[in-house]
Amino acid sequence: MAKKLNVPLSKVYMDEDIKNAVLQVLDSGWYILGQMVKEFEREFAKLCGVKHAVCTSSGTTAIFLSLKAIGLKPNDEVIIPSFSFVSTASPIIHLGGKPIFVDINPRTFTLIPAEVEKRISKRTKAIIPVHLFGHPADMDAIMEVAEENDLFVVEDAAQAHGAEYKGRRVGGIGHIACFSFYPSKNMTVCGDGGIVTTNNQELAENVSMLRNHGRLGEKYIHRALGYNFRFNEVQAVVGKKQLEKLPTWNEQRRKIAQIYTEALEDVVTVPIEEKWARHVYHMYVIKAKERDELRAFLDRRGVSTGIHYPVPIHKQPAIENNIGSKLKLKKTEECANLVLSLPMHPQLTQTEIDYVCESTLEFYEKKH
């Protein structure tokens, strides 16, 4: 075995060019919702092939404002996967709505459209498909169910910047979509941040108004009771610079995924990419029966791993208290016990990638 390396699960990118651009913004004296934010929004909209993009203070507030913009009211229901980060669900509850959890396809970790259809009721207002780990959900089938039942589709694309479904970028397929720039994501903004994308002008204006105290144009005229979920210029300039690099980074993530898959497919269940998908591997998530043992072994070898997610949302203490604890989602609960995220970021070196593969294989050699 090669000498011990420390391989992080993810790593943010920073360079002199970004630092210099930040210094210029600092010197400009304009820090909130200025020219940089406008430019970043325009460029991000282009990435998704949509007419509008509106920056928000986080991915969570992007989801919250999107739900508010579509008019989610108390007691409305929103159908979502339980196998996701908690903030796919929490904004629904904050708005007085009810998350309706459905099971996932364990191959892609995304919503099963037929299960969505079964849970539609008179109260259903929207569906939130999550493009988990960077693999898109089956959007055609979900859009069809939504159309037949007059529902909104709010894409949770927090983990899927640049991913494609049948050649179309996610973020431009549903009625409205939400991204996160949290530091582990495929692109970041040097802190918390999010963005909403849509082709619908009214929804975009609503989000824009609500993020800035209900103000649409004129100062000190508040058309709605809004929030302070604004975005700042420093983050926008970092976002602009990172967005330029996103295609190369996603390509690199895909190459690393291919190397992992070729090395590990005989010992663990490796992630798949549907024929219609372009996966951007926000996370490279394997499934292994002996997951906890493998994780401890990799940890001793210096390889950082993650469990996304050990407890499905419907089993989270804060959520169970809201919706009762009877719900059983077989595939979701199985996945929570098996998943393990291996190091994945575009700065991984060949030596580090090989080391992760060798360490994983060594675990299985010792076991057998």
* Residue closer to ligand PLP, measured from CB, 65 or 158: 158
Asked whether position 60 contacts ligand PLP by CB under 6 A, the answer is yes
DSSP H or E run through 143: helix 139-149
Among 87, 188, 332, 360, binds ligand PLP (CB under 6 A): 87
**Region of 37-45, 47-55, 97-105, 156-164 interacting with ligand PLP (CB under 6 A):** 156-164
**Shortest distance, CB of residue 179 to ligand PLP, whole angstroms?**
8
**Shortest distance, CB of residue 129 to ligand PLP, whole angstroms?**
11
Cα separation, 90 vs 319, whole angstroms: 8
Among 180, 250, 305, 359, binds ligand PLP (CB under 6 A): 180
Write the DSSP assignment of 60-77 as a string of letters. HHHHHHHHHHTT--TT-E
Query: Are 95 and 68 in contact, with CB atoms under 8 Å apart?
Result: yes
**Shortest distance, CB of residue 84 to ligand PLP, whole angstroms?**
5
Q: What b/e readout covers 6-40, taking b as 16+ CB neighbours within 10 angstroms? A: ebebbeebeeeebeebbeebeeeeeeebbebbeeb
Residue whose token pair is 């009625």: 175
Query: Are 355 and 2 in contact, with CB atoms under 8 Å apart?
Result: yes
**Shortest distance, CB of residue 308 to ligand PLP, whole angstroms?**
8
**Shortest distance, CB of residue 353 to ligand PLP, whole angstroms?**
24
Cα separation, 103 vs 110, whole angstroms: 8
Asked whether position 172 contacts ligand PLP by CB under 6 A, the answer is no
Among 97, 106, 194, 239, binds ligand PLP (CB under 6 A): 194
Asked whether position 182 contacts ligand PLP by CB under 6 A, the answer is yes
Query: Under the rule (CB under 6 A), what is the footprint of ligand PLP?
Result: 58-60, 84-85, 87-88, 130, 156, 158-159, 180, 182, 192, 194
